[in-house]
């Protein structure tokens, strides 16, 4: 059945009753249009709070706009492409067809922040013919209660199915000079401290202050990376990112300050092209998440929903887990990745410098893991090549199967197995990606031979093939190749220095975590991460997926290792515990040295207890750049955990426990900042208290400057009820 006419598909946000009638009548119907001076087609979210409108004017130009609770969020913003093959600009179109549909399902991720996720949206799919090239393109909008995802689809064409994209003209036109949390639009690194400015003060190179150790590519003026978090001038929270980034370059955003409008900036390849596509093909989803409550941004699962289901039919071998590792001692300067540096035996403060990945030292970590129920131990610097690896643009530095002479792989594999511990492999590629791809099968067979089930990869340096970028199409395809290949070998993977995640952990659940941001290690040898850093990351980098942030540092000041060092972690010890709840990852490292934990085993108990896989997650309160309070229920348990963190400002935060099971008593173990704790002057001062609580309890949390609180809530037994007092 088809109709001809103007605005036959008008789901107008201004007439709810007519909208409902139109939806009931027109769902699933394909409509054909005659071109008029302007065509406007609108569709609203399932709860009616978000409305998207698609426009085509009499010149054939197309645009979209977005409303939340009848307030403008995205002003009319253009859509289109420039191809270099064929040499055409796609900005004038005829509408061929408009389809609409609804979708509602519940699905269970292999692991995650929720054991069950609802995927509920309304879809508007518009098929267009570009003029005069006659290229067919479809734009699909999915409108959720929390935002919108849209992408371009190129069906098989009649004449030409190979395209080279020179530019993508996707705009995001903001309504005002919003408060913005951003990092520069570098093509090779995400490891920047966040700037918090108005849009009018965004400067892609940080006012000339961007001097990060891992910044490699030219940074365009006013270019920023996604995920981009904003708070509008009228109090709305807006997050822009992308989902399902496959076979396409990452999208940065180029800001026009005069209009507060962003335009997509795709990461180029070695010869300046952006993307090579063969129809049928799709772009990633462009995502806009919106709410008038900051906590709703963090509670969104829209990016996951926009990704394809898992390709792994039997994921039973995938195990979320905690681990420790021979890692932090290298960052604090007492250990080395390379054998030669460790054999020099120099003294660092009260410590003798050593090669970290020596057999005896690794056994010490295995012993600690076994004793404390930590499943795995990561070993970095075990293989030859570290003496000549960084920044040299050399192709054959590592071979991934040749250990140093002081690392006995057979002995350690047997020792770990006897202790009930798994070793985690480390593959630093030095960004020589072609070298790694040639050796992946050999490396993964080596891993399986010695019982390794997980690998941490690294891509520090200039990408080989020369001229490619970490965030370009070639590397995006490489990361997916690694995810597929490791899955073939039943290996879990944690990628460092990759493109920022976009929800592909749904499709490849063996891809447990990524770095792709400024992690905890920066605190050991640089100006570090300011206390607000961890209150921004969940609203930015973690919107796309889990981060291997490496929390759990107990020895806060680096002068412990060397009196000459002035660096420190910008945190209290209690905040480091809270990060296990607020910084989500199914692969969580207890990052400090075993001896530093042994000095505080009462606090380490929280790390032992806290889950890494969750039945339910609830952000209770949040404000980007200021504070986050989150509660999570461990999968398969009745145990809840709460993490609360703040920036440099001390805070008093009320927390109602009304999410607990009614009628059940819990023992709340509260790990909090001491009264005199302070991230700068007294960071290791903490107090542990126990109380009986229930769903009626309201806690009052006191967070020190740069501090936090971690709480475990475990159902009480008759015996514990006798020993623990109620909370007042």
Token pair for 98: 């408009």
| Interatomic CA distance for residues 298 and 499, integer angstroms | 21
C-alpha of 56 from chain center: 35
CA distances from 594 to 338, 408, 433, 519, 525 (A): 21, 21, 34, 20, 20
| Interatomic CA distance for residues 168 and 274, integer angstroms | 9
Burial-class residue 4 by CB neighbours within 10 Å (0-12, 13-18, 19+): exposed
What residues have CB less than 8 Å from 719, skipping those under 6 apart? Answer: none
Q: Can you state the percent helix, strand and coil of the chain, rounding each to 5?
A: 20, 35, 45
Query: Active-site residue numbers?
Result: 521
Taking alpha carbons only, the member of 609, 575, 560 closest to residue 686 is: 575
| Interatomic CA distance for residues 222 and 257, integer angstroms | 8
| Interatomic CA distance for residues 496 and 428, integer angstroms | 9
| Interatomic CA distance for residues 64 and 49, integer angstroms | 17
Strands 422-428 and 376-379: parallel
Contact in structure between 285 and 293 (CB atoms under 8 Å): no
CB count within 10 Å of CB 439 equals 18
- What is the total residue count of the chain? 728
What residues have CB less than 8 Å from 190, skipping those under 6 apart? Answer: 183, 225, 500, 516, 517, 518, 541
| Interatomic CA distance for residues 646 and 705, integer angstroms | 7
Token pair for 539: 């609203």
What residues have CB less than 8 Å from 713, skipping those under 6 apart? Answer: 639, 640, 641, 642, 657, 660, 666, 667, 668, 693
Token pair for 476: 């995006």
Burial-class residue 603 by CB neighbours within 10 Å (0-12, 13-18, 19+): buried
> What number of H helices and E strands is found in the chain?
15, 41
CA distances from 176 to 75, 78, 261 (A): 10, 18, 9
Token pair for 598: 């042994």
Contact in structure between 422 and 463 (CB atoms under 8 Å): no
CB count within 10 Å of CB 337 equals 24
| Interatomic CA distance for residues 627 and 612, integer angstroms | 22
CA angle 559, 563, 564 (to 5 degrees): 100
Q: What is the dihedral of CA 688, 692, 697, 701, to 10 degrees?
A: 0
**Phi then psi for 455, rounded to 5 degrees?**
-135, 140
CB count within 10 Å of CB 267 equals 26
């Amino acid at each position: 059945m088809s109709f001809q006419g103007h605005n036959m598909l008008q789901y107008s946000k201004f007439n709810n009753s007519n909208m409902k009638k139109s939806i009931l009548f027109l769902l699933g119907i394909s409509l054909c249009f005659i071109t008029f001076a302007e065509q406007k087609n609108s569709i609203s979210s399932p709860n009616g709070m978000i409305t998207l409108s698609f426009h085509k004017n009499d010149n054939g130009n197309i645009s979209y706009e977005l409303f939340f609770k009848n307030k403008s969020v995205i002003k009319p913003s253009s859509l289109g492409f420039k191809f270099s093959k064929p040499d055409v600009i796609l900005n004038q179109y005829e509408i061929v067809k408009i389809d609409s549909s609804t979708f509602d399902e519940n699905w269970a991720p292999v692991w995650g922040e929720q054991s069950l996720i609802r995927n509920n949206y309304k879809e508007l799919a518009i098929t267009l013919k570009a003029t005069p090239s006659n290229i067919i393109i479809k734009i699909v909008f999915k409108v959720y209660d929390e935002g919108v995802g849209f992408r371009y689809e190129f069906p098989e064409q009649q004449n030409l199915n190979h395209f080279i994209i020179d530019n993508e003209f996707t705009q995001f036109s903001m309504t005002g000079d919003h408060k913005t949390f951003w990092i520069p639009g570098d093509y090779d690194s995400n490891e920047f401290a966040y700037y918090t400015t108005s849009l009018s003060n965004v400067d892609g190179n940080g006012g000339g202050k961007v001097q990060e150790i891992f910044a490699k590519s030219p940074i365009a003026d006013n270019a920023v990376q996604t995920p981009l978090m904003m708070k509008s001038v009228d109090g709305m929270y807006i997050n822009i990112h992308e989902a399902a980034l496959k076979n396409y370059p990452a999208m940065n955003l180029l800001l026009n300050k005069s209009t507060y409008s962003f335009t997509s900036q795709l990461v180029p390849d070695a010869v300046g092209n952006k993307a090579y596509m063969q129809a049928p093909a799709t772009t990633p989803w462009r995502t806009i998440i919106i709410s008038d409550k900051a906590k709703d941004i963090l509670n969104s699962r829209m990016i996951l929903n926009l990704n394809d289901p898992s390709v792994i039919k039997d994921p039973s071998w995938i195990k979320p887990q905690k681990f420790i590792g021979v890692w932090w001692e290298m960052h604090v300067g007492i250990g080395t990745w390379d054998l030669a540096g460790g054999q020099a035996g120099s003294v660092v403060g009260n410590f003798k410098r050593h090669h970290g990945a020596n057999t005896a030292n690794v056994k010490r970590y295995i012993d600690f893991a076994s004793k404390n129920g930590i499943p795995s131990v990561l070993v970095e610097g075990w293989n030859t090549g570290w003496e000549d690896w960084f920044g040299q643009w050399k192709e054959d530095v590592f071979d991934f199967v040749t250990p140093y002479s002081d690392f006995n792989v057979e002995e350690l594999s047997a020792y770990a197995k006897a202790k009930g511990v798994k070793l985690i492999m480390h593959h630093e590629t030095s960004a020589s990606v072609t070298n790694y791809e040639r050796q992946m099968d050999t490396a993964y067979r080596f891993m399986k031979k010695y019982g390794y089930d997980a690998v941490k990869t690294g891509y520090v340096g200039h990408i080989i093939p020369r001229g490619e970028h970490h965030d370009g199409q070639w590397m995006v395809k490489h990361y997916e190749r690694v995810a597929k290949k490791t899955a073939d070998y039943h290996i879990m993977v944690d990628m460092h220095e990759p493109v920022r995640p976009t929800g592909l952990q749904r499709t490849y659940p063996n891809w447990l975590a990524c770095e792709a941001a400024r992690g905890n290690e920066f605190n050991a040898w640089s100006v570090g991460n300011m206390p607000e850093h961890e209150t921004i990351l969940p609203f930015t980098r973690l919107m796309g997926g889990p981060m291997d942030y490496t929390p759990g540092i107990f020895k806060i000041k680096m002068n412990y290792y060397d009196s000459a060092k002035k660096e420190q972690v910008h945190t209290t010890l209690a905040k480091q515990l809270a990060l296990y709840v607020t910084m989500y990852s199914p692969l969580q490292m207890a990052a400090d040295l075993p001896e530093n934990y042994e000095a505080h085993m009462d606090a380490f108990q929280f790390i032992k207890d806290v889950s890494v896989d969750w039945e339910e997650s609830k952000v209770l309160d949040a404000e980007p750049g200021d504070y986050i309070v989150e509660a999570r229920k461990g999968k398969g348990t009745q145990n809840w955990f709460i993490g609360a963190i703040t920036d440099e400002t001390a805070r008093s935060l009320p927390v109602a426990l009304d999410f607990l099971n009614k009628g059940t008593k819990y023992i709340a173990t509260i790990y909090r900042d001491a009264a005199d704790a302070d991230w700068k002057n007294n960071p290791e001062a903490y107090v542990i208290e126990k109380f009986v609580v229930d769903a009626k309890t309201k806690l009052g949390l006191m967070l020190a400057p740069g501090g936090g609180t971690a709480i475990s809530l475990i159902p009480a037994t008759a015996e514990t009820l006798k020993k623990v007092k109620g909370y007042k």
